[in-house]
A and B are shown apart, each in its own frame.
Chain A
Amino acid sequence: MKLELRGITKRFPGVIANNDVNLVVEPGEIHALLGENGAGKTTLVNVLFGLYQPDEGEIRIDDRRVTFQDPGDAITAGIGMVHQHFMLVPVFTVTENVMLGVESVRGPLGQQLDRPAARKRIVEISEAHNLHVDPDALVEDLPVGVRQRVEIIKTLYRQSDLLVLDEPTAVLTPQEDEELFEIMRSLKASGTSIVFITHKLNEAMGIADRITVLRAGRVVGTTTPQEATLESLAEMMVGRHVSLVVDKEPAKPGATVLEVKDLIVRDDRGHVTVNGLNLEVRAGEIVAIAGVQGNGQTELVEAITGLRHPVAGSIRIEGQAVRLEPRKVLEAGVAHVPEDRLEDGCVPAFTIAENLVLNTYYRPPYSNGLQLDRDAIGKEAETLVRDFDVRTPSVFNPVGNLSGGNQQKVIVAREFSRPIHLLVAAQPTRGLDVGSIEYIHRRIVEKRDEGAAVLIVSTELDEVLALADRIAVIYQGRIVDILDPESATPQQLGLLMGGSGPGEVAAAANGESGLVVTAHG
């Protein structure tokens, strides 16, 4: 299917989300739509999928003009969409989810669902593209990566010739990313066109045939991975030169600030997720904890910040034992950038100003103990919004209305503007665009150079390698190895994160068999 968008303009009150956007997707092409958060990517595909009506412009399929009143029209025309947030019924099986809305039926009155027929087609689709989906599994039992494949099957089941993937890798682990790309290549080989929305440069370069870059609602240009470089793409996206490597001096570590000894922590379900962990972070260094999600990182951070009671072991910050009182921990000079910014990091309904004092509101100059000083809060907010480059028309806008990058900047501004000795940041740049990532990384290095001890938790290897002065690899609740980022390779890290002991990894690196049994195994 050939898809063409001509001069699409979509206005919202006060903003032009898409301004005269032109886009051509050839049959059997993977076309990456690249842009920062808020550049108008999602608006554009919502127009394409019939969720919004464009104010101007037209959509053409195979050189015929079409209009979509609603997603049903778009689906009929052969467009399939995989949203960032999946549209699946958790308690239904894969087959039931896929046939939902286009049920095949049997019996004289069509009174009975024909699950076997649907199941058979799902198996065919699954095998044709190596999707490896069990049609009888309940969706709620499936990992995120597989749920995404169920969504893809749903679109193929409805005979889509053009697939729109809205930031599909945002929810995936690095391993799952690779599997998804394989599937995309297989679909392409069978003639399906794919519109692939992303803000990650590597992905666009790695998988796309052509790349269209959006900025502030306009098309900046269309290029190919052969012509473009990471730097040129970043510049197109952000509109200025962006440094992709973190400039930093070698660390000058000082005294130990954070000391974790034999720590054991349980998660909410009572499972031991941190299991005898030892770790030290010194002033003036960045230690990054690398690991696959779910290996105890969340519970470790919660224990350090006083949010979760450890079962055993000790945590000391500047010699003081941490107690189960988040406020005491914060007052001791610990800054915490939580993993989930909307859930844990801010109150979306509160204004930017209110969120900026979310953990200092009770102290002078913001409060006299009884009443808030709104002038002082507003003034501080103006300063921070300027210093931390939060893009907003007013500090009285709710944080929930900001883009993800700006929300994260608000949290970073709040945490970094206090005098701190220890910074704990979990997934500090998850879901952010290159401009924001560059900015937040620079701020983190600044904090280190001011003498703070920094603990980063990240599942992004690029981030770990770029930021860390030391890399601690976590696996099943323990630090299995500590590496020097200068000499560590992504392969080596990947193996350690996957549970191979350091001995095995060293052996593998030396070209020997990877099956050496070690004490860590």
Chain B
Amino acid sequence: MAEPLPGPAPAEGSTRGTVPDGPTLAARLGTTARGLAVPILAIFSALVIGAVVIVLSDVTFFERLQSDPGAALGAAVGEVLRAYRELFTGALGSPTDYVDAFTSGDPDLIRKAFVPISETLLAATPLIFTGLAVALGFQCGLFNIGAEGQLYVGAMFGTFAGFAFAGLPWFVHIPLAVGAGFLGGALWGFVPGLLKARTGAHEVIVTIMLNYTAYNLISWILKVPGYQREGRSDPISKVALDSSWYPPLVEGLRANWGFVLGLVAAIAVSWLLFRSTRGFEFRAVGFNPTAARYAGMSIATSTILAMTISGGLAGLAGTSIVLGVTHSLTFGISSGFGFDGIAIALMAASRPRGIILASLLFGALRAGATPMQSLTGVPIDLVVVIQALVIMFVAAPALVREIYRIRVPETTGLETFSQGWRA
């Protein structure tokens, strides 16, 4: 609708001496703050609606409302506050525990106080990888719904490398197992990439189908002698040797170096997308494949390569679980990390930095959910509701702006968000 508007006083000549180094620091901070406004308000809104859900899901609330409305409402507010307090302390630890632990100076107590944060980092780790996997696809115009399947195949390869090679020192064994996990996921991403490039088969369909193939592959291999744990009849793999385990960040806590690898992966993906020659092609193909082809880029190469790397990243999510937490492969290793990755990538607008933040948020919600349920009786499912609401609000920024009356400048020209994917 808006005609491209005249630049500020288009005088004779052009841009001589104007901002050669991009936006100033202040401008950049302003942009970042505006970028964060919507996600933060989205989280806040989700918590508010979550509170309503807590109250309404309490059956006794309505009975009490009839007899004594005031007390019922007071009790409801109390319950919401208690649930959220447990959720937050379950995710970040309680201030009093920190104070007590540090004043006592007992290393055991200090360690214990950090358990909630450790659990948050642990839960965030696979999400970082799957978020990056999906985001990389988005940036190249591909919708990888298959991160879940790629995660399982990566875990399968990683577990195998973990138990099959005995006697290796950790600095050989860990890279080997992690590399195997990347390879497994990459294989599961390469197939839809190849099919799309060669035949035009839509990656959404193929990756969904390959999720099911992956489940069946796992259910088969967990019954194969030599992969299945000796003496067990249920589907569970051998235990990976401890030389292949991600070492803990702090002895005695579950958070491990897999999280650090996630941060490294985020930096690597950021470099790949925004600094490297190949990433330039990925993004050009993602934003405008026709122009990319006219400019001499190969859409097929970008598609195959991006899907392969995306799959590999999802495979690393698998290793972060089997080498970092469970140390063996079962069906239960992923509770939808691959699908949460889609939400995280969307929430972060496919930016690696945003993916770390979004993963930490989702990780915190997951880590805080269990203590919340055990201490207050509010079901874990509340966390799923909150997650869903956060995603919904982030996906509908106009709604958030409307609720909080955030003025957006009437845009001049194109909106230039990542378009995600095309059908």
Residues of A at under 8 Å CB distance from B? 12-15, 17, 37-43, 46, 51-52, 216-217, 240, 305, 307, 325-327, 329-331, 336, 338, 343-350, 354, 358-359, 361-362, 367, 369-372, 374, 378, 382, 385-386, 389-396, 398, 400-404, 406
Contacts and interface: CB of A to CB of B under 8 A. Distances in A.
B276 A391 contact: no
B280 A372 contact: yes
B9 A12 contact: no
B413 interface: yes
B291 A13 contact: no
Nearest to A51: B1
B6 A371 contact: no
B20 A347 contact: no
Contacts of A42: 1-3
B404 interface: no
Contacts of B292: 347, 358
A358 B284 contact: yes
Contacts of B15: 382, 385-386, 390-395
A291 B123 CA distance: 64
B295 A371 contact: no
Given A307-B294, A347-B287, A354-B280, A391 B14 contact: yes
Contact of A327 (B4, B290, B296, B417): B296
Contact of B291 (A12, A331, A358, A396): A358
Nearest to A216: B6
B412 interface: yes
B294 A338 contact: yes
A348 B416 contact: yes
Q: How many B residues are at the interface, by size bracket?
A: 35 or more
Contacts of A326: 293-296
B34 interface: no
A15 B296 contact: no
Contacts of B108: none
Contact of B413 (A52, A361, A395, A401): A401
B291 to A, nearest CB: 5
Given A358-B291, A393-B15, A396-B22, A371 B275 contact: yes
B416 A398 contact: yes
A382 B20 contact: yes
Nearest to A39: B6
With most chain A CB atoms within 10 A of its CB, the pick from B275, B290, B417 is B290
Given A216-B6, A216-B10, A369-B277, 9 more contacts: A17-B3, A41-B3, A326-B296, A349-B414, A354-B280, A372-B276, A392-B15, A401-B412, A403-B3
A351 to B, nearest CB: 9
A217 B414 contact: no
B276 A371 contact: yes
Contact of A394 (B3, B9, B18): B18
A349 B415 CA distance: 8
A359 B294 CA distance: 8
B288 A348 contact: yes
A37 B3 contact: yes
Contact of B14 (A362, A385, A396): A385
B277 A361 contact: yes
Contact of A17 (B6, B10, B287, B293): B6
Interface of B: 1-10, 12-16, 18-23, 271, 275-278, 280, 283-284, 287-288, 290-297, 409-410, 412-414, 416-419
A391 B284 contact: no
B182 to A, nearest CB: 19
Contacts of A12: 2, 5, 409-410, 412
Contacts of A358: 284, 291-292, 295
Main secondary structure of the interface of B (DSSP, over half): loop
A410 B344 CA distance: 35
Contacts of B16: 386
13 contacts: A12-B2, A15-B412, A38-B7, A216-B6, A216-B9, A240-B12, A307-B293, A361-B277, A382-B15, A393-B18, A394-B15, A396-B22, A400-B414
A52 B271 CA distance: 42
Contact of B277 (A39, A329, A354, A362): A362
A421 B290 CA distance: 24
Contacts of A349: 287-288, 414, 416-419
Nearest to B10: A391
Nearest to A328: B296
With most chain B CB atoms within 10 A of its CB, the pick from A331, A369, A403, A406 is A403
Nearest to A41: B3
A402 B4 contact: yes
Contact of A389 (B14, B21, B275, B294): B14
A406 B419 CA distance: 23
A213 B179 CA distance: 67
A361 B414 contact: no
Contact of A400 (B19, B284, B293, B413): B413
Nearest 7 A/B pairs, CB to CB:
A327-B296, A42-B3, A400-B414, A401-B413, A359-B295, A403-B4, A13-B409
Given A326-B296, A393-B7, A348 B414 contact: yes
B18 A350 contact: no
Contacts of B271: 371
Given A382-B20, A389-B14, A391-B14, A347 B291 contact: yes
Nearest to B278: A370
A326 B297 CA distance: 8
A15 B5 contact: yes
A416 B288 CA distance: 22
A359 to B, nearest CB: 4
A313 B418 CA distance: 42
B284 A350 contact: yes
A347 B275 CA distance: 17
B91 to A, nearest CB: 36
Contact of B4 (A343, A347, A404): A404
Nearest to A46: B1
A345 B291 contact: yes
A402 B418 CA distance: 18
A359 B18 contact: no
Nearest to B419: A349
B7 A344 contact: no
Contacts of B3: 17, 37-38, 40-43, 403
A308 to B, nearest CB: 11
A360 B417 CA distance: 25
Contacts of A374: 275
A401 B280 contact: no
A307 B275 CA distance: 28
A382 B416 CA distance: 22
Given A37-B4, A217-B6, A400 B416 contact: yes
B301 to A, nearest CB: 11
A394 B290 CA distance: 26
Contacts of A327: 296-297
A430 to B, nearest CB: 16
Nearest to A36: B6
Contacts of A343: 288, 290-291
B108 to A, nearest CB: 47
A307 B18 CA distance: 38
A361 B294 contact: no
A192 to B, nearest CB: 25
Given A12-B409, A350-B284, A370-B277, A393 B291 contact: no
A370 B276 contact: yes
Contact of B22 (A14, A38, A307, A394): A394
B7 A43 contact: no
A417 B256 CA distance: 52
Contacts of B19: 393-394, 396
Contacts of B297: 327
A40 B388 CA distance: 43
A382 B21 CA distance: 11
A371 B9 CA distance: 37
Nearest to B292: A347
Nearest to B21: A378
